[in-house]
Structure 1
Amino acid sequence: MTIVALVLAVSGASFILGRFMNRPANPVTLSPASGETGGDFGGLPSTSTPSIPAALPQSTSAAAKLAKMVDPGLVDVMTNISYQGASAAGTGIVISANGLILTNNHVIEGATSISVRDVATNVVYRATVVGYDASADVAVLQLKNASGLRTAPIGNSATLKSGQLVVGVGNAGGVGGTPSYAGGSVVALDKSLSAADPSNPSQMEQLTGMIETNASILPGDSGGPLVNAKGRIIGMDTAGSSSGFYGYDPNGSVAAQSYAIPINTALAIAIAIEKGQSSSTVHVGSTAYLGIEVVPTGSTGTGGFDYGAPQVSGGITIAGLVAGSPAASSGLAVGDVVTSVDGHTISTVVALSQYESKLKVGGRLTIGYTTTSGAT
């Protein structure tokens, strides 16, 4: 087996769930382009701006009033993934006047830069990642030079019951401006689901303890609040279901089912991150990255590209390398098949993503791989 040692850099590629993606027709990536099907690690769905209905289902005057109660405490989260030539958008919740923002991990995962627009003032800030829990899909951002922000009204998700009215609020379609909203009710509590983007169904996140609601959610709402009848936030919008997928339809169809993380759960993680209390799941600090785009071994990726991968029974194929990244400087090449990381067998895209989420910037790791010529 060929072995290479890497030193990890800041930020990086990882799989995508539930944020609105905008990728130009000619992405800035190394050839061949990253696969957008078959479980692409760091690949971005080719997405056009979804059409947002003038009035979403169950959007009533009562829902509008509840949405206005939380709007001043929300932000639009906008990310760039420069090595993909892509951008993404989601929503965040202001949890401190000095600019701590609660959002989904998948909203900022893979970002090379993050900017945040305060809904209340329209001021745009640069943001850094304070920490995240990839397994719970929770992240905390810090806005640079922010003060005096209006914080969002937080409720108690422990009091939530099936049948109660709720309103989902967020940056639907990534268009910014006044947050959109959609009313509904709680369908069930403590739900477990496997979440994935429809264009990458092999990339699954296992989420537990979720709130299920029939409030219609669109791409870009991720990280936004689920609000109760008192105008208090009791959940964070995370995933929707349409066309049989848990995730968001890239064509912008309204989700028939939606899922939110209970706010008590999300805030407990945020508090641990703010205090610098890392754990087996909580990562404090910026995201580490390898700088590789991968697809499952045997996949040809988008457009039928053949990466020239060796015929091996396991591992994941390198579809692209980010210029200047640790992986690009290590001697790895497009078409090589990664089989292990630090002695741990890697057989799926998800396994690599989960392992990468636990790594720290500046740390070292050893990758085992097979070259395109079959050398190991």
Structure 2
Amino acid sequence: MDDGRRRGRGVRLLALFIAAIVGFTGFLCYRGELPRWPFADDATTASLVGPSLPPLDVDLVSRVAEPALVNITAGIRPYGLGAAGSGIVLTADGEVLTSHHVIKGADSVTVSDVGTGVTYTATVAGYDSSADIALLDLHGADGLPTAHIGSSVPLHLGDDVLAIGNAGGTGSPTAVGGPITNLDSAIVARNSADLSRKSLHGMIEVAAAVAAGQSGGALVDRYGAVIGVVTAASGDLQKALGKGPNGYAVPIDTAMNVVRQIRSGTPTDTVHIGPTATLGILTSDARPTGARVDVAIYGLPAYSAGVADGETITALDDRPITDSQMLKAALNAHRPDDVVRLEVSDADGGRRTVNVTLTVGPPN
């Protein structure tokens, strides 16, 4: 009898053990179909994810990421020119991450929600032109879907990623995918709006046909987590040399460092906070030193204060100015209505000091 009871208990225990194994296996199967967000503190586990995984599911990942994307239109007066780009929603009340070159020179910025089509006016909270990152605040926004922010630290060459944005300015997000081909790429990017060029470093390079309008959009991993901000596409020369198509993105960790600096309200030599303060001049590097005033724009502060074309700015508030970039860096710390003291020299070597009241201008 005792043996029979023991056998019965053994059978029941075996059945419970088998049931537990079956149940655990069921959860593992379901877990494989659920999004898993590899945040920065998950870098050890995420670093094990690599080319051995199945191909990225473009449709599934797009459905996860697209609700947190917006379309951006930047208007430039007086010619009615503008630029179309994309943005990534960081907060439900309307903080939007985008590329600086999307809003560069804009007098007005409007943002439309991809999912609802609702349009918002936006102000530029701050930007870092050297990193090509800007942060916008949407007026009256509430309850917006927000992006899942991942980390660019655990990425590997060959990882499949997806670039999503407003390609061609059509208003509908376009997704293009491909493997990562470089994690520290250096490029010279050309702004199609004003034809200016900028050197960018530390870019994520992706073998994907990124298009104009996707700038400021999201580079996402296979789980839909944002791991970069789309910045540039390969140029015609690269394509002609058989090196394209490629897309480039600012690593999300770099972008979020800029965002945190902007949120702190403390400007740096590269990070500008709030409305842009301008002298109203166009400059170039002077020789041997200084920022040469190529044009003092009529009616704007420098012109009104008597600064003339061809003069050279050598200091701002006693800070030496050795080139145009240093002048921009010095102005980064200022706001409209600040009064700055310029040391100016003319072609004959004459020197003088000019006080100029800055005015609001488009993002540099």
Q: Determine if the TM-score, normalized by the shorter chain, exceeds 0.5.
A: yes
Q: How does 1:178-217 map to 2 (within 5 A)?
A: 178-197=172-191, 203-205=197-199, 207-217=200-210
The residue type equivalent to 2:144 in the other structure is: L
CA distance, structure 1, for counterparts of residue 109 and residue 78 of structure 2: 14
Aligned equivalent of 1:167, options 146, 154, 162: 162
* Matching residue of 1:78: 73
* Matching residue of 1:329: 304
Q: Specify whether residues 83 and 339 from structure 1 end up closer, same or farther in structure 2 by C-alpha distance, changes over 3 A only.
A: farther
Q: Does 1:361 align with 2:355?
A: no
Q: Specify whether residues 218 and 269 from structure 1 end up closer, same or farther in structure 2 by C-alpha distance, changes over 3 A only.
A: same
Moved more, 119-128 or 324-333: 324-333
The residue type equivalent to 1:180 in the other structure is: T
Following TM superposition, by how much is the alpha carbon of 1:374 offset from its aligned partner in structure 2, in angstroms?
9.0
The residue type equivalent to 1:182 in the other structure is: V
**Bigger share in helix:** 2
* Matching residue of 2:260: 271
Deviations 1:287-307 (A, max 9, x none): 22222234667xxxxxxxxxx
Deviations 1:82-103 (A, max 9, x none): 2564222221100000001011
**Greater RCO between the two (CA within 8 Å, min separation 6)?**
1
The residue type equivalent to 2:145 in the other structure is: R
Q: Where do 5+ consecutive residues of structure 2 fail to align?
A: 1-54, 352-364
- Whether contact under 8 Å (2:148, 2:226) holds in the other structure is yes
Superposed CA RMSD in Å reads 3.3
* Matching residue of 1:237: 230
TM-score, with normalisation over the residues of structure 2? 0.69
Deviations 1:13-62 (A, max 9, x none): xxxxxxxxxxxxxxxxxxxxxxxxxxxxxxxxxxxxxxxxxxxxxxx994
The residue type equivalent to 1:124 in the other structure is: T
CA distance, structure 1, for counterparts of residue 350 and residue 236 of structure 2: 43
Q: Specify whether residues 143 and 200 from structure 1 end up closer, same or farther in structure 2 by C-alpha distance, changes over 3 A only.
A: closer
- Whether contact under 8 Å (1:217, 1:255) holds in the other structure is no
The residue type equivalent to 1:102 in the other structure is: L
Q: Specify whether residues 86 and 328 from structure 1 end up closer, same or farther in structure 2 by C-alpha distance, changes over 3 A only.
A: farther
Aligned equivalent of 2:143, options 117, 123, 148: 148
Q: How does 1:305-324 map to 2 (within 5 A)?
A: 315-319=291-295, 321=297, 324=299
Following TM superposition, by how much is the alpha carbon of 1:114 offset from its aligned partner in structure 2, in angstroms?
1.3
SS in 2 for 1:159: coil
- Whether contact under 8 Å (1:336, 1:370) holds in the other structure is no
- Whether contact under 8 Å (1:102, 1:223) holds in the other structure is yes
SS in 2 for 1:340: strand
Q: Does 1:108 align with 2:106?
A: no
Count of residues in Structure 1 that have an aligned counterpart in Structure 2: 291
* Matching residue of 1:290: 279
Q: Specify whether residues 127 and 193 from structure 1 end up closer, same or farther in structure 2 by C-alpha distance, changes over 3 A only.
A: same
Following TM superposition, by how much is the alpha carbon of 1:375 offset from its aligned partner in structure 2, in angstroms?
6.8
Deviations 1:241-263 (A, max 9, x none): 31348xxx9xxxx9633221111
CA distance, structure 1, for counterparts of residue 56 and residue 204 of structure 2: 24
* Matching residue of 2:85: 90
Following TM superposition, by how much is the alpha carbon of 1:64 offset from its aligned partner in structure 2, in angstroms?
4.1
The residue type equivalent to 1:332 in the other structure is: V
Q: Specify whether residues 199 and 90 from structure 1 end up closer, same or farther in structure 2 by C-alpha distance, changes over 3 A only.
A: closer
Larger radius of gyration: 2
The residue type equivalent to 1:271 in the other structure is: R
CA distance, structure 2, for counterparts of residue 90 and residue 341 of structure 1: 36
Following TM superposition, by how much is the alpha carbon of 1:226 offset from its aligned partner in structure 2, in angstroms?
0.6
CA distance, structure 2, for counterparts of residue 337 and residue 85 of structure 1: 32
Following TM superposition, by how much is the alpha carbon of 1:127 offset from its aligned partner in structure 2, in angstroms?
0.8
SS in 1 for 2:255: helix
Q: Specify whether residues 228 and 351 from structure 1 end up closer, same or farther in structure 2 by C-alpha distance, changes over 3 A only.
A: same
CA distance, structure 2, for counterparts of residue 88 and residue 320 of structure 1: 26
SS in 1 for 2:234: strand
CA distance, structure 2, for counterparts of residue 144 and residue 201 of structure 1: 30
The residue type equivalent to 1:165 in the other structure is: D
The residue type equivalent to 1:82 in the other structure is: R
SS in 1 for 2:82: strand
SS in 1 for 2:112: strand
The residue type equivalent to 2:198 in the other structure is: M
Deviations 1:169-221 (A, max 9, x none): 11222x2421122111101113334434479787433x333211122222222
- Whether contact under 8 Å (2:281, 2:293) holds in the other structure is no
- Whether contact under 8 Å (1:218, 1:255) holds in the other structure is no
SS in 2 for 1:222: coil
- Whether contact under 8 Å (1:129, 1:139) holds in the other structure is yes
* Matching residue of 2:18: none
- Whether contact under 8 Å (2:83, 2:193) holds in the other structure is no
- Whether contact under 8 Å (2:314, 2:344) holds in the other structure is yes
Following TM superposition, by how much is the alpha carbon of 1:361 offset from its aligned partner in structure 2, in angstroms?
2.8
Aligned equivalent of 2:246, options 241, 252, 257: 257
Q: Where do 5+ consecutive residues of structure 1 fail to align?
A: 1-59, 298-311
SS in 2 for 1:204: strand
Following TM superposition, by how much is the alpha carbon of 1:359 offset from its aligned partner in structure 2, in angstroms?
3.3
- Whether contact under 8 Å (2:180, 2:205) holds in the other structure is yes
The residue type equivalent to 2:179 in the other structure is: S
TM-score, with normalisation over the residues of structure 1? 0.67
Identity over aligned residues, as a percent? 36
